[in-house]
Chains A and B, each alone.
Chain A
Amino acid sequence: MKFLLQWLLDLLLRFLRSLDLPLLAGLLALMGAGLVTQYSAGSGTLRGVMMQGGFFTVGLGALWVVSRVPAHLLKQATPLIFALSLVPMVLVLFIGSGKYGNHWINLGFFNVQPSELCKLTLPMMLAWQLDRHPLPPRLPGLLVAVAIVALPVGLTFLQHDLGTAMLILAAGGFVLFLAGTSWWWWLAASGIGAVGYALAKFAPITWFSFLRPYQQDRILTFRNPENDAMGAGWNILQSQIAIGGGGVQGKGWGQGTQTHLNYLPEHSTDFAFSVLAEDFGWIGVMVVLGLYLFVIGRCLWIATDARDGYGRMLAGTIGLSLFAYVLVNGGMVSGLLPVVGVPMPLLSYGGTSAVAILLGFGVVMALRPHRQIYR
């Protein structure tokens, strides 16, 4: 009897050995928050929660599988993975569907968004390439890196998915930053960013004639949501009302009136964080932001312990990417940033996003040193 228990415990430990338990705990907590939010967003119906739970299960399975892959194999396979991930990116341009552009490939039972995968495969490729040379990288290496970044970013831009393109670009930037590129580059990049923000905020709209009308609308709305409270600004305004109305403690789980009376649009996907903010208030927001910070910190912690530059840059980038997602979505739903249609990681409803993110953390765990996989 005792032997049997010991055997079972041993089996469980073998099973969990490849996982980083603190990181897993953080992710599980966030997924719990996600399911709680989805329950509220679904107005008490369980369908969305079940579906999202299914996605999480698939994602956790993928995470477990990837976490068991030896780091050196992952590194070796990186160029192939990157190349494979670009195939659907091209394909989606021809057979894709979506509201404003060709984002999704319809697989019959659900839609896959190929650009989500690039958020992971680009930093892998970039880290692989940069790690072949001493760090910090020199100019030729940088030029190659820029070319590698440009490929998926450009393809995403062609899909008219500005938000994801920016996030992929950000992931590339994180890799370069962690690779130790000169501060001068970052100074220049910040300058460009500041100019871009200023342009979006203050430049005449005719300067943006290269953008699609809906994208121009978003810029205008970003400048002043009240300007068009019944049209383009409606989403932001209602989201702000939902967040602000939540107050410190929130209205209670499932009690958010903005959500349940449908004033808040897209409340299970893009605006899921507003649902959380309305139901659980600033306290809920702080708890979830704290969880995100913990996950980010844990990723960076794992990264510093990784065995080589590839592992360090990749794990660090995955952590910092999470920060980027949170900042962009959290800023967008609260009117701090323009609406770009980026989901809140693990909170927003969506299979591709959930699986892709969990896959990323699987990679982080695979890059963890001192694992004893072959015992």
Chain B
Amino acid sequence: MMRKARPLKEHAAEAALFRRRALIGFLCALLGLAVLAGWYFHLQVVQHDLYATRSENNRLRLVPVAPARGLILDRKGRILADNVSAWRLDAVPERAGDGAALLANLQGVVAMDLEQQARFLREYKASRPFKPVTLKLRLAEDEAARFAVNRWRFPGVELVPYLGRVYPYGALFAHVVGYVGRIDDKDLAAMGDAGGAYTHVGKTGLERFYEQELRGKPGYRRLETNVAGRTVRTLETLPAAPGTDLRLSIDADLQQAMTEAFGELEGSAVAVDPRTGEILAMVSLPTFDANLFVNGISHADFRALNDNPSRPQFNRVVLGGVAPGSTIKPLLALAGLDSGTRRAEDKILSTGMFYLPGQKRGYGDSHRGGHGWTDLRKSIYQSVNTYYYKLALDMGIDKVDAYMANYGFGRPTGVDLAGEIEGILPSPAWKAAHAPKQGKWYPGDTVITGIGQGFWKVTPLQLAQATGGLASGWLRAPHLVKDTRSNFDAPWRPVPLKPAHRMSASPAHLQAVTEGMVATVHGYGTATNIRAGLTYTIASKTGTAQVVSRRGNAALNPRSLPMHLRHRALFIAFAPAEAPTIAIAVAVEGGGYGASTAAPIARKVFDAWLLGRAPVPAKPEDALPLQRPDFSNVMGSGTALPPAKTPGAP
């Protein structure tokens, strides 16, 4: 066997073979790279817009910038609602991870009580993954510093500066200014896109009523953020437009004086300028610290407020409806004059009891045995019921209603506070609609309507409005905000007044009623207890009201009401009587007679406003003689009793 020869290589053939293969290889490479180039063309040219958008979305974050909320000032420019810079802690769910673990990690860095933790976890769970959820508002200085140092441990958690709301006067303006609270889902839904800029929204009072104006317009910052969500740089800032500043007609000093005048008493009072309808002071007691609500009130505080039977959060001035009682009398008297039913000098005999024809049940006077012959003025300063029983009957309920509606009863005053009630102006139509079980409208209903009892329900603000009407002759809608400015440098622009209408066509009629009201204090009237030391004239009327319940079914069983909700001492007044600059309505809870508890409050407020000083306990010998000839005729008139040291008495 021959050894098999090793086959010889054919070099030329091999080279030719290689050339073919190399060419094919090159063509394959060309094809492969062409496919790659085509795919990149697809991504970079065909789908460029799609990816460019996603690239932008990756890097850009539009962060709303909260505008500074408008300030609220008193009429002298003192700040009632202020903004302070504060730090809060926000967590973005998709980057901060598990909420419970986050809270555990935060222990020792930022103090959070169980309540705050529970609230955070609730909101955190409900939030969309990219939407920041606030961990804590108003971080203390050391907390903010501690977090800043430990910040690397908490991806997705950021220290955010914001403007917090502060009420420097605390409780004094709680019912006027109201408060802002943490924004909730309902608020957010109402705000739409811009909602993200805000942490707080007005919940009550002016903060709520003027929410739109106070809120301002949010700005935006376009931020470039890296993959960890940290801001790399700010690309563009659209500044926020600050909210409108509000200047109130309320004077903080007067508000303070009015609050102090109540002392330990509970109730409400409101003073207006009868020339404009400006509210000068407005108090509802007891009150509460509005600052409690700003950062989320604790359960304990909230329960304390809610369980308080006096209901500190209840704004009695616009929500607390009561029967006006005798304070309606000057108004009915004016209606009697204007309707031609009475002349001022017409006299009615008060015998202590008034009977409707054919009825055994009588309607009493406050004096057993009656007041004797009573003209219009005396009917006011001595608060003679019989005069008004007859007057209401003689006018007829429809005419009474027409005049009372003209004086602003039975409808909201239109004050710039949310939720004001309209009250009840008793009428056959109202009774048929709301109290059909009590039968048709009886003459007796008309009789007690005449002395402000029965179905009546008025708010202290409505009373103050009507009192202002008596003082100036014009019914003017009360309002809190005097003027506004769009920013710090802008001029103040007055809020346009609502149209006023005349109380009476006859100045003489007004004069007669006013004379009666002046005699209430300065004559032999029901409020002579506040006369001592007066240097100006007060026109006023006392009253006592049974509270018309505002608690729904509780109305049917008045005995279920606490004592202090059962009666009101009422007092309306304006001063100085010749050229009134202030009119007031006071309602004091806890029963009693209007003159004893409510009238001194009005006196103190008047002193503060007219004399610029807090009331001093005046002795009779301090009293200055009254030099107002206009009213000399009413001083001590209509009675045989000597006026007790009446100033200006002969």
User: Which of B54-62, B436-444, B525-533 contacts its partner?
Assistant: B54-62
**Residues in chain B near residue A300, CB distance under 8 A:** 22, 25-26
**Residues in chain A near residue B29, CB distance under 8 A:** 293, 296-297, 319-320, 323
Q: Which of B14, B41, B43, B59 has the most chain A CB atoms closer than 10 A to its own CB?
A: B43
Q: Known: A134-B9, A135-B14, A263-B58. Is A327-B227 also a contact (CB below 8 A)?
A: no
Q: Is the CB of A323 within 8 A of B8?
A: no
User: Which of A7-15, A60-68, A153-161, A173-181 contacts its partner?
Assistant: A173-181
Q: Is the CB of A316 within 8 A of B25?
A: yes
**Residues in chain A near residue B51, CB distance under 8 A:** 240-241, 243-245
**Residues in chain B near residue A316, CB distance under 8 A:** 18, 21-22, 25
**Residues in chain B near residue A180, CB distance under 8 A:** 14, 17-18, 21
Interface string of B226-248 (1 = CB under 8 A from A): 11100010000000000000000
**Residues in chain A near residue B43, CB distance under 8 A:** 240, 243-244, 334
Q: Is the CB of A257 within 8 A of B224?
A: yes
**Residues in chain B near residue A320, CB distance under 8 A:** 25, 28-29
Q: Is the CB of B21 within 8 A of A177?
A: yes
Q: Is the CB of A285 within 8 A of B37?
A: yes
Quick check: is B127 within 8 A (CB to CB) of the other chain?
no
Give min CB distance, A204 to chain B, whole Å. 27
Give min CB distance, B558 to chain A, whole Å. 65
Q: Which of B19, B32, B41, B224 contacts A261 (CB 8 A)?
A: B224
Which residues 41-84 in B have Cβ within 8 Å of A in the complex? 41, 43-45, 47-48, 50-52, 54-56, 58-59
- Closest residue to B29 on the A side, CB-wise? A323
Quick check: is A47 within 8 A (CB to CB) of the other chain?
no
Q: Known: A180-B21, A313-B18. Is A327-B58 also a contact (CB below 8 A)?
A: no
- Closest residue to B44 on the A side, CB-wise? A282
Q: Is the CB of B18 within 8 A of A303?
A: yes
- Closest residue to A317 on the B side, CB-wise? B25
Q: Main secondary structure on chain A at its contact with chain B?
A: helix
Q: Is the CB of B47 within 8 A of A244?
A: yes
Q: Known: A248-B45, A282-B44, A300-B22. Is A312-B15 also a contact (CB below 8 A)?
A: yes
Q: Known: A244-B44, A244-B51, A257-B58. Is A263-B227 also a contact (CB below 8 A)?
A: yes
Number of A-B contacts (CB under 8 A): 147
Q: Is the CB of A289 within 8 A of B8?
A: no
Q: A134–B11 Cα gap in the complex (Å)?
A: 9
Q: A334–B26 Cα gap in the complex (Å)?
A: 23
Quick check: is B40 within 8 A (CB to CB) of the other chain?
yes
Q: Which of B19, B22, B32 has the most chain A CB atoms closer than 10 A to its own CB?
A: B22
**Residues in chain B near residue A244, CB distance under 8 A:** 43-44, 47-48, 50-52, 54-55
**Residues in chain B near residue A246, CB distance under 8 A:** 44
Q: Which of B37, B55, B224 contacts A241 (CB 8 A)?
A: B55
Q: Known: A135-B17, A300-B25. Is A261-B58 also a contact (CB below 8 A)?
A: yes
- Closest residue to B40 on the A side, CB-wise? A285
Quick check: is A72 within 8 A (CB to CB) of the other chain?
no
**Residues in chain A near residue B21, CB distance under 8 A:** 177-180, 316
Q: A261–B28 Cα gap in the complex (Å)?
A: 38
Give min CB distance, A190 to chain B, whole Å. 11
Which residues 322-375 in A have Cβ within 8 Å of B in the complex? 323, 326-327, 330-331, 334, 336
Q: How many residues of B contact A (CB 8 A)?
A: 43
Interface string of A282-297 (1 = CB under 8 A from B): 1001100100110011
Q: Is the CB of B37 within 8 A of A286?
A: yes
Q: Known: A180-B18, A277-B44, A300-B22. Is A261-B52 also a contact (CB below 8 A)?
A: no
Give min CB distance, A291 to chain B, whole Å. 11
Which residues 209-259 in A have Cβ within 8 Å of B in the complex? 238, 240-248, 257-258
Q: Which of B14, B26, B55 contacts A258 (CB 8 A)?
A: B55
Q: Which of B11, B18, B224, B228 has the most chain A CB atoms closer than 10 A to its own CB?
A: B18
**Residues in chain A near residue B50, CB distance under 8 A:** 244
**Residues in chain B near residue A304, CB distance under 8 A:** 15, 18-19, 22
Give min CB distance, B10 to chain A, whole Å. 7
Q: Which of A174, A178, A277, A296 contacts B40 (CB 8 A)?
A: A277
Give min CB distance, B641 to chain A, whole Å. 92
Q: Is the CB of B25 within 8 A of A261?
A: no
**Residues in chain B near residue A289, CB distance under 8 A:** 33, 36-37
Give min CB distance, A292 to chain B, whole Å. 7
Give min CB distance, A159 to chain B, whole Å. 27
Q: A179–B30 Cα gap in the complex (Å)?
A: 20
Q: Is the CB of B36 within 8 A of A245?
A: no
Q: A82–B225 Cα gap in the complex (Å)?
A: 50
- Closest residue to A238 on the B side, CB-wise? B58
Q: A327–B9 Cα gap in the complex (Å)?
A: 35
Quick check: is B358 within 8 A (CB to CB) of the other chain?
no
Q: Known: A248-B45, A282-B41. Is A327-B33 also a contact (CB below 8 A)?
A: yes
Q: Known: A135-B17, A180-B17, A262-B226. Is A241-B58 also a contact (CB below 8 A)?
A: yes
Q: Known: A261-B59, A331-B39. Is A177-B48 also a contact (CB below 8 A)?
A: no
**Residues in chain A near residue B33, CB distance under 8 A:** 289, 292-293, 323, 326-327
**Residues in chain B near residue A261, CB distance under 8 A:** 58-59, 224-227, 232
- Closest residue to A262 on the B side, CB-wise? B227
**Residues in chain B near residue A286, CB distance under 8 A:** 37
- Closest residue to A293 on the B side, CB-wise? B33
Quick check: is A136 within 8 A (CB to CB) of the other chain?
yes
Q: Is the CB of B227 within 8 A of A296?
A: no
Quick check: is B357 within 8 A (CB to CB) of the other chain?
no
Quick check: is B491 within 8 A (CB to CB) of the other chain?
no
Interface string of B274-314 (1 = CB under 8 A from A): 00000000000000000000000000000000000000000
Q: Is the CB of B7 within 8 A of A134?
A: yes
Q: A54–B26 Cα gap in the complex (Å)?
A: 32
Q: 4 closest pairs, A vs B, by CB?
A: A244-B51, A245-B55, A323-B29, A261-B226
A-B contact pairs, 16 of them (CB 8 A): A178-B22, A179-B21, A180-B21, A238-B58, A240-B51, A244-B48, A244-B50, A281-B44, A285-B44, A289-B33, A293-B30, A300-B25, A300-B26, A304-B19, A309-B9, A330-B36
New contact pairs (5) apart from A243-B40, A247-B45, A285-B44, CB-CB < 8 Å: A241-B58, A245-B51, A245-B54, A246-B44, A330-B36
Query: Which residues of A line the B interface, CB within 8 A?
Result: 133-136, 174, 177-180, 238, 240-248, 257-258, 261-263, 277, 281-282, 285-286, 289, 292-293, 296-297, 300, 303-304, 308-309, 312-313, 316, 319-320, 323, 326-327, 330-331, 334, 336
